[in-house]
Amino acid sequence: MRVKLLKFTNDPEKTCAAAARLCYSGAGIDEIEKKLTKEKIKGLLNQIISSGHHSVLEHVSFSFFADGVSRALLAQLTRHRIASFSVQSQRYVKYDDGLTFIVPASIKNNKKAFDKYKEFLNACNDLYKYFLNEEIPAEDARYILPNAAPTKIFFTMNARELRHFFSIRCCNRAQWEIKEMACAMLNLVKKKAPIIFFDAGPECLRTKCQESKSCGKPWKKRGL
């Protein structure tokens, strides 16, 4: 898996702080921005986040690229509605040389299970290539590809949605693959906007666990 932060709103923390100050000021935006020192930005954002007034965080966005992730992960990622997604098409992209499938550790660490897994996926590859050779359109040949098939995703979320995303997908009880991606994303955005994301992560980082069945392992101690 490879996760890369491609683009993000310029000076994201100052942008959010300016939006917050504008709500309670009669001054113009230029004057507001001039008066926003680093200390004031930090104070404003800490107050906004701690009070739950997160709407101003929607003014900044972050765009990511993920490669070597499965279609199973894609199905989970696109459940997050407030986001934009561009995904490598199985309809137009032909995998003439076959695919390198994603393998869960639980299967890879079980030799018998892994052998059966490889046997099945090799058969999928062979049948897929057979279909292409028989001039079956790629959009039809793809029907036999499993959730383990890899894909590439370009996606964008605003800071408010990212905080929500991290609260769910960085949780110890999240599915392993999307949790790995979410933690990588959180590490990336923290470097660009440390105040906005200072307490981002699962609910147990800020308050008690919201899951019906807790993992019993506080995320704060476990780390990334």
pLDDT digits 0-9 by tens, 135-169: 999 999 999 999 999 999 999 999 999 999 999 99
- Residue 219: what pLDDT? 56
Q: Are 45 and 13 in contact (CB under 8 A)?
A: yes
Task: Assign 218 a pLDDT band (cuts: 50, 70, 90).
Answer: low
- Residue 118: what pLDDT? 97
Q: Please give the CATH architecture assigned to the domain spanning 2-85+151-222.
A: 2-Layer Sandwich (3.30)
3-state secondary structure at position 124: helix
Q: Which one of 21, 160, 163, 169 is the catalytic residue? A: 169
pLDDT average, residue stretch 86-108: 95
Note if 169 is an active site residue.
yes
Reduced DSSP (H G I as helix, E B as strand, rest coil) percent helix, strand, coil of the chain, to 5: 50, 15, 35
pLDDT digits 0-9 by tens, 8-45: 999 999 999 999 999 888 889 999 999 999 999 999 99
Q: Are 6 and 65 in contact (CB under 8 A)?
A: yes
- Tokens 């000076």 — which residue? 11
- Retrieve residue 13's tokens: 């923390």
Predicted TM-score (pTM) of this structure: 0.91
> How far apart (Å, rounded) are the C-alpha atoms in residues 82 and 114?
37
Q: Where in the chain is the domain with CATH 3.30.1360.170?
A: 2-85+151-222
